[in-house]
Amino acid sequence: MPRVLQASGPVAALAAAGREAAVVGVGRSGAAAARLLRAAGVAVYASDAGAGAKLTPLADALRTEGIDVQLGGHDLARIAKAGVVVVSPGVPPDVPPLRAAREAGVPIISEVELALHHLPASVRYIGITGTNGKTTVTAMVAQLLSAVGVNAEEAGNIGTPLSEIALREALPAWISLELSSFQLADTPSVKPAVAVLTNLAPDHLDRYPDLESYYRDKDRLFRNLDGLSVRVVNRDDAEVMRRTATVRGDAKTFSVERRDTDAWYDADARWLMLAGERLLARDEFPLLGLHNVANALTAALAVHSALPEARSADGRARLASGLRSFVAPPHRLEKVGEFDGVLWINDSKATNVGASRVAIAGMERPTVLLLGGRHKGEPYSNLLDVMRGRVKAVVAYGEAEDLVVADLTGHVPVERGGSSFDTVLAKARALAAPGDAILLSPACSSYDMFNNYEERGATFRAMASR
């Protein structure tokens, strides 16, 4: 049953004045925002440039709830007259409806910003951002909060929109909230109980004018912190440490390279360490890769910092148990299976060069690497050092194919896969021998050939056993 809501924050005056709110993007987040606005008594116009089969049922359902929905385009004049525009996380900042709103001086906020104003102060949250690892850390934090005994959920950038939770009658005590740079850009009131920055690396250079602009949006997670706030940051990332050095509040750090931190990895003894004590043996932690050890340290430190009950002996045992039973989200170094002696690994979530570097570095078999999709601005030559001794061949494909070929030819064997995923996988099969691995870690977004990285990964998974 939905809660009875009173319009708050940027939309507080709209209901009384009879003004309309506009929602740009009618996916799951946009639909949740539209429903929250309607529940708060605000008239809503929601629009989406798309008009596919996936959107039509959602639009029809919203219409039955009194929400005006337009698919296949936007009424720019109507958006320019709105009292506020709520933007879905997947909508680029330079699309016509957002330009129209800016030119008319209409405030633009994220779905997260809207939801934060409609959640009571009793609901606390751990805010998590970073270039790579944030989805896994968000899921881990939610599991560890629950393991310690609090009512917790994960929400945000991937998964449940925060507005869906804000509509519920029964609210969690804690939320593990994943925040992308795009969401942070339009969420001025964000102030988590614990702010987590996993790492920083070049990404989204197809949507940002330069790297500094991207990093500045990540910085926004910390802008409202005060002397009582806690931040959890990566001691091994010089850019993270530089950018967070002057942030107010208590700094907690994690590392897989050094020991002078609050959470670290003892590689010699193979133990994950927390607050100077052993937390979990590496052999008991089920996820592949050193980067997932870092993710586990991050999540454990965040929950340890947030909850006094996590600092007791029983609390530490519960944290260890939560990590021991953790199952990684799909499409992240996911072992699909071994067929004809070849191990197939789905790392479709690796949508930037930094994420692919991590995946390649963890490969223990000769690897055929599938690299391509929609280019995001970083040279693929930045992969060469980790490819040496690990990658036996690359299959380049999609819109980025020519760039991949240009950057890697002469350093590693490169085959062209074109724009057919069937052809890409056929080439990979032909290149792989028993004992090898085929790794989908594209270093690109999926939008040239698929609707999203999940669809790309699911297609890879389905075709692997053919």
Give tens-digit pLDDT for 30-86.
999 999 999 999 999 999 999 988 899 999 999 999 999 999 999 999 999 999 999
- Segment 143-160 mean pLDDT: 95
Given a cut of 90, whether residue 185 has pLDDT beyond it is yes
- The pLDDT, as a whole number, for residue 306 is 98
- The pLDDT, as a whole number, for residue 4 is 66
For 148, list phi and psi in degrees, rounded to 5: -75, -15
Dig out the tokens for 4 from the structure: 């009875």
Residue 133, annotated ligand binder?
yes
Dig out the tokens for 175 from the structure: 């939320």
3-state DSSP assignment of residue 194: strand
Query: What is the tens place of the pLDDT at every residue in 217-264?
Result: 999 999 999 999 999 999 999 999 999 999 999 999 999 999 999 999
What average pLDDT does the chain have? Answer: 96
Residue 132, annotated ligand binder?
yes
Query: What is the tens place of the pLDDT at every residue in 388-407?
Result: 999 999 999 999 999 999 99
If you search the block for the tokens 């939770």, which residue do you land on? 165
Any idea which residues carry the catalytic annotation?
A: 134, 157, 204
d(CA 75, CA 98): 11
Question: Please, which residues have CB within 8 angstroms of residue 334's CB and are 6 or more apart in sequence?
Answer: 328, 345, 346, 347, 457, 461
Residue 72, annotated ligand binder?
no
Residue 134, annotated ligand binder?
yes
Query: What is the tens place of the pLDDT at every residue in 363-378?
Result: 989 999 999 999 999 9
d(CA 145, CA 301): 11
The answer to whether the beta carbons of residues 442 and 373 sit under 8 Å apart is yes
- The pLDDT confidence band at residue 282, using thresholds 50, 70 and 90, is very high
Residue 135, annotated ligand binder?
yes
Burial class from Cβ neighbours inside 10 Å (0-12, 13-18, 19+) for residue 223 reads middle
DSSP β-bridge partners for residue 22: 45, 85
Q: Give residue 150's identity as a one-letter amino acid code.
A: V
Dig out the tokens for 113 from the structure: 């910003």
Higher confidence at residue 52 or residue 267? 267
How many Cβ atoms are within 10 Å of 53's Cβ, its own excluded?
Answer: 6
Q: Give residue 242's identity as a one-letter amino acid code.
A: R
DSSP β-bridge partners for residue 368: 393, 438
**Sheet bearing 367-372, strands edge to edge:** 334-339, 342-346, 437-440, 367-372, 391-397, 414-418
From its phi and psi, is residue 60 left (phi > 0), alpha (psi between -120 and 50) or beta?
alpha
- The pLDDT, as a whole number, for residue 54 is 87
Domains annotated for the chain, with CATH where assigned, are 9-112 (3.40.50.720), 119-324 (3.40.1190.10), 334-464 (3.90.190.20)
d(CA 76, CA 96): 7
